[in-house]
Amino acid sequence: MASVESVQYVEPIIRHQWSQREVAELFEMPFMDLMFQAQQVHREHFEPNRVQLSTLISIKTGACPEDCAYCPQSGHYDTELEKEKLLPIPEILEAAQAAVDSGATRFCMGAAWRNPSDRELPQVLATVKAVKELGLETCATLGMLKPEQAHQLAEAGLDYYNHNLDTSENYYDQIITTRTYQDRLDTLEAVRDAGMNVCAGGIVGMGEEESDRIGLLRTLANLPKPPESVPINMLVKIPGTPLEDVADLDEFDFIRTIAVARILMPQSYVRLSAGRDEMNDQMQALCFMAGANSIFYGDELLTTDNASCKHDRELFDRLGIQPESVQA
């Protein structure tokens, strides 16, 4: 029998080629078995009771030319959203400092653009540099990127770039028609080639089938390198958008999506994102059990409500969860 000293740790093999059938089999597992497997995978790669806190703000709001059916910022829909130009740097830095003071470690900036213009990108680059000086990880979502724009953002110190796939390729044209699925994949490739971390996930509860949730997660997991951060959003139904009356997704189906994402992408942060304001504490606790280890922290997400910081702190205390510290 081998002695304890002779036993060597073997780095687990991370798969990058999942078939549709294999992912479907995970979704079809008995719920408790799926949760158990997801929690085991989570504990192999992360501290089980640590959650990363990210803060998200809108630095340019409304009048977006895209027709994303879920989005109140689309110029195609009348959602009574007040349009705003790109915020001045001091105002963004004030929000970033508030994020630091509240315990967040990542600061995410969103702009309602199809893609950043050459006129406005320099201000974004200056903002990224200034936020970095506060000691925060930086993330931005600015729409599609050209390779040279991705390199400029990387040189400015941007740590993560968010560009969600939203749904499966098969269901995509039911949600968006103004850009293609390949456009999104091309932006992710440009981000990766520039040396930045990729943040990419999707939205569930948009009227899609389970096969579409399977397809979304499979596409993300089978990228040349899975995203370092995977936000899973529950649709927030906004009056005036085409999806305002879509049927609610079963809560267990949402939790299953979190669990399967954890199993397929064991080294990624899985972020419990939009929709938390409508989730009770028990549902959020099950999402953490399923492997979610990141949340958006703050009272607002771009233009929609979020769970309050006070409530999040109280829930963390009840669950014995600690916020993750800034990485060295």
User: Catalytic residue numbers?
Assistant: 64, 68, 71, 108, 139, 199, 271
Answer yes or no: are the C-beta atoms of 141 and 163 closer than 8 Å: yes
What is the end-to-end Cα distance of the chain in Å, rounded?
40
Task: Supply 239's token pair.
Answer: 């009056």
Which residues on neighbouring strands pair with residue 54, listed in sequence order? Answer: 106, 296
Answer yes or no: are the C-beta atoms of 129 and 157 closer than 8 Å: yes
Which residues on neighbouring strands pair with residue 58, listed in sequence order? Answer: 110
Task: Supply 158's token pair.
Answer: 């941007």
Please tell me the distance from the alpha carbon of residue 163 to that of residue 227, in angstroms, as a whole number.
Answer: 10
Q: Which residue has the tokens 């953490």?
A: 288
Answer yes or no: are the C-beta atoms of 272 and 284 closer than 8 Å: yes
Q: In degrees to the nearest 10, what's the CA dihedral of 292, 297, 301, 302?
A: -120
